[in-house]
Amino acid sequence: MKKGASTKYYDYIIAGSGIAGLYTALMARTHGTVLVITKGSIEDCNTRHAQGGIAAAIGRDDSPELHFKDTIAAGDGLCDEEAVRIMVNEAPERIAELVNIGVPFDTLDGEITLTREAAHSVSRILHAGGDATGEYIEVTLSNQIRISGIQVLEDSLATEILVEKGKVQGIKALDCHTGSIEEFSCRFLILSTGGAGQLYKFNTNSDVATGDGLSLAYNAGAEIIDMEFYQFHPTALSLPGVTPFLISEAVRGEGGILLNAEGRPFMVDYHEKGDLAPRDIVARSILYEMEKTGTNKVYIDVTHLPAFTVTTRFPHIYRFCLEHGLNITQELIPVAPAAHYMIGGVRTNSWGETNIAGLFACGETACTAIHGANRLASNSLLEAVVFSKRIVMKTTDNKASQEKVSVHNASEKHSLPERQSRLSSTSPSLSALQVLLWEEVGILRNKEGLTQAADTLATWQNLISLPADRPSYELHNLVLAGRLVTEAALMRKESRGAHFRSDYPKRSPHWKHHIVFRRD
């Protein structure tokens, strides 16, 4: 793409305005011109929904080595160990930077307070505003962006990455108000558009989580990895007529107890760590208990905890529940699993680089293989800041985008298979897609359901008309993301981490590798 008189040029263009995108913008602003493109406002993102916190080994009884071991254990054999070591070792410095930027982490007697969550061996979770960590970080960063003079293009949806001879040239974006398309050129393009939680009928994500970065990257020729590993949070508030609302894992970390519909604690039946078992095990255990009792929910009990502990430690959760008629200091909290976090994503190396020169990815959009097959709680916000910082470091060393992207574990590379279109009983729509993915590509999977979903999604992809506005672009992106998740889940004939198949319920040593998709 040649820069014309009407083409605007920037050193850095960042698509997305969550913690990864905004942090990258703030780090990059002293190294060149920066443009942030976001389809809503810079406050619209998944980061605001992150209650649990951010993990870092800054406590007296903690160490990067302990954090490393916990992360590797949760990843079920598929973590990139080098990338994990980078993350845990650089974590304290990134926390210090967030403090300097102004993030008000919770403190006691002048020290940052640390809490514990499932599968962490010690207390290492930092919080802000109790259970509003993501919101506090997002607001702090967005305020810094607004006063920094960084240009932000709101209500603009990135629609196409422009590539020539294997190198990024720029990006096209849709003005969501006028419907016009504008082109921007750049040296470096960073994708930080978040996840794809809107694939599922029940999810804890913002409405903006529609797999936009995945679609952009895949269509440009970037590699997509580990899409079968979609993490379902075990405990989302389950009240009639109320959108699923995250009940943080930290609630169980503080002593909350899971009870079935009969009022019996059940997690000890499934795992030695009981209520603090890994997320995938807790989510499946809840499904089994719901099936046993013929109900659509279980409960978290915090009524035995001092009321002031609940209200001060989880003020956001307490207020939200109270607004919907539930006093959690006196009543049980009804919960059920919901889609929560996209573990896979755009394949990057430890500097955030993709296989396309000049194209980087960070945050939930990216897959550094830090999380392996099952993300350790509160590592996502940490991953975002650590590797966002490394992207900027890489772009300033005069060797950016020269390394070949690789991961330590072996990988299989595929293109999405051609599937014969068939008559579909439903037309492609957001609601139909969400039901299909929830029922056939959810927490429990099998060949029959996955094959049906794969065929339906391929048919829908051929039926959808060309996108012209934000909703139609988002549906296009979600159908493609759905195909990537489904085809990967169909290929992986084992159960590992967040991916569970009832027809292959065991982990297999033959599947200790990654599945990678790349467009032909």
- How many CB atoms are located within 10 Å of the residue 40 CB? 17
Structure tokens belonging to residue 150: 């960084």
Task: Identify residue 51 by its one-letter amino acid code.
Answer: Q
- How many CB atoms are located within 10 Å of the residue 70 CB? 23
Q: Please give the backbone phi and psi of residue 160, each rounded to the nearest 5 degrees, phi first.
A: -160, 135
Catalytic status, residue 279: yes
**Cα 314 from Cα 129, distance rounded (Å):** 8
415, 219 in Cβ contact below 8 A?
Answer: no
Nearest to 213 by CA among 229, 227, 200: 227
Nearest to 193 by CA among 372, 393, 366: 366
Nearest to 163 by CA among 356, 9, 333, 344: 356
Task: Identify residue 472 by its one-letter amino acid code.
Answer: S
> What angle in degrees, to the nearest 10, is found between the helix axes of 447-463 and 470-491?
150
- How many CB atoms are located within 10 Å of the residue 498 CB? 27
**Cα 174 from Cα 155, distance rounded (Å):** 8
121, 55 in Cβ contact below 8 A?
Answer: no
283, 270 in Cβ contact below 8 A?
Answer: no
**Which residues 6+ apart lie within 8 Å of 374 measured at CB?**
74, 75, 76, 229, 231, 278, 279, 280, 343, 497, 498
Beta strands of 420-466 (E only): which ranges? none
461, 483 in Cβ contact below 8 A?
Answer: yes
Distances (CA, A) of 460 to 96, 221, 423, 470, 483: 47, 22, 10, 18, 10
Q: Please give the backbone phi and psi of residue 220, each rounded to the nearest 5 degrees, phi first.
A: -85, -10
Give the helix/strand (H/E) hosting 382.
helix 380-395
359, 219 in Cβ contact below 8 A?
Answer: no
CA dihedral (352, 136, 17, 429) positive or negative: positive
**Cα 450 from Cα 441, distance rounded (Å):** 6
**Cα 445 from Cα 489, distance rounded (Å):** 8
Distances (CA, A) of 340 to 47, 140, 231, 246, 443: 12, 23, 6, 9, 11
**Cα 432 from Cα 424, distance rounded (Å):** 11
Annotated catalytic residue: which of 94, 252, 279, 390?
Answer: 279
Supply the residues annotated as catalytic.
Answer: 279
